[in-house]
Amino acid sequence: MKLILLGAPGAGKGTVAKMLTQLDGSVQISTGDILRGAVAAGTELGKQAEAAMKRGDLVSDDLIMGIMGKRLQEPDCKNGFLLDGFPRTIPQAEALKGLLARLGIKLDTVVSIDVPREVILDRLTTRRTCSNAKCQAIYNVKSNPPKKEGVCDKCGSPVVQREDETEAAISHRLETYNQKTAPLIGFYEKEGMLLSVNATSSEAVIAAIKRKLGK
Ligand code: ADP
């Protein structure tokens, strides 16, 4: 599968991507995970991205295209990839179109996951993330807590609230999404690539994708 997953923060892109990787060996590529890993490792990339991320602003299109230009050429992408959190702006979508054409890659579809704002707000304030940059497993204090409070089931590292998951940063991220990312829905609709899914359960989103791809 070669998919783009679109949706507001908290729409479930990461969860859906992880479930899809189980189906056919496609890799999940999350620009947010890559950036958080770089911040944790203190690399040059991390230093450039950190301030914008903390505020809930987007990092620059050039920085993101630099990452993705390389990432999409790594060998594991041959089996398929699920783009989670990228593209996030019209310039990124235009640049991705050029990049895919140059690499001779054709996308299957672009999935837009629509979830009501109240559900999103509730999910983001109760979301917790594994602090280990290599793991970044996601939990929810209400619906999916770790077995031992504050400890990751998968790797044993502390489970924390992300720095951009304070109420102020969350509402800023949602605003940024509406302004910069929501226009991609129209962009991909025009390209004839859009699958819109109105669903709050990840299983329903997976079922709609399978139907669309005939899997
Ligand atoms: P969420 O989808 O939950 O908001 P992500 O983990 O996808 O979170 O992204 C976290 C932060 O990383 C974003 O708020 C932004 O600062 C940065 N980021 C991730 N992907 C992109 C992108 N494609 N373009 C610009 N900034 C990005």
Per-residue pLDDT at 89 exceeds 80: yes
Residue 14 CB less than 6 A away from ligand 1: no
Q: Which residues pair with 78 in a beta bridge?
A: none
Tell me: the pLDDT tens digits for 119-170?
Answer: 898 989 999 999 999 999 999 999 999 999 999 999 999 999 988 888 888 8
Instruction: For the chain, give the percent of residues with pLDDT over 70.
Output: 100
CA 165 to chain centre: 15
* CB 85 within 8 Å of CB 49: no
Is residue 13 annotated as a catalytic residue, yes or no? yes
Is residue 127 annotated as a catalytic residue, yes or no? yes
Q: Which residue type, as a one-letter code, is found at position 53?
A: M
Which one of 36, 123, 127, 128 is the catalytic residue? 127
pLDDT computed for residue 203 by the predictor: 92
Cβ neighbours, 10 Å, residue 42: 10
Tokens 């001779």, residue? 104
Is residue 117 annotated as a catalytic residue, yes or no? no
Per-residue pLDDT at 4 exceeds 80: yes
Tell me: the pLDDT tens digits for 39-61?
Answer: 999 999 999 999 999 888 999 99
- Choice from 4, 84, 88 to test ligand 1 binding pocket (greatest atom count within 8 A of CB): 88
pLDDT computed for residue 182 by the predictor: 97
Residue 173 CB less than 6 A away from ligand 1: yes
Per-residue pLDDT at 82 exceeds 80: yes
68 CA closest ligand 1 atom index: 23
Per-residue pLDDT at 102 exceeds 90: yes
Which one of 36, 123, 128, 162 is the catalytic residue? 162
Tell me: the pLDDT tens digits for 172-203?
Answer: 899 999 999 999 999 999 999 999 998 778 99
Is residue 88 annotated as a catalytic residue, yes or no? yes
Rounded to two decimals, the pTM is 0.89
Residues whose CB falls within 8 Å of the CB of residue 86, separated by 6 or more in sequence, listed in order? 4, 29, 30, 31, 64, 68, 92, 96
pLDDT computed for residue 197 by the predictor: 96
- Residue closest by Cα to atom 19 of ligand 1: 32
- Mean pLDDT (the chain) is 94
* pLDDT, average across residues 96-115: 96
Residue 138 CB less than 6 A away from ligand 1: no
**Angle separating helix axes 183-190 and 90-103, nearest 10 degrees:** 40
17-21 CB contacts, 8 Å cutoff, 24+ apart: 17/82, 17/84, 19/202, 19/206, 20/82, 20/206, 20/209, 21/82
84 CA closest ligand 1 atom index: 7
Residue 129 CB less than 6 A away from ligand 1: no
DSSP string for residues in 17-62: HHHHHHHH-PEEEEHHHHHHHHHHHT-HHHHHHHHHHHHTPPPPHH
Q: Which residue type, as a one-letter code, is found at position 94?
A: E
Structure tokens at 56: 């809930």
* pLDDT, average across residues 90-102: 98
Residue 162 CB less than 6 A away from ligand 1: no
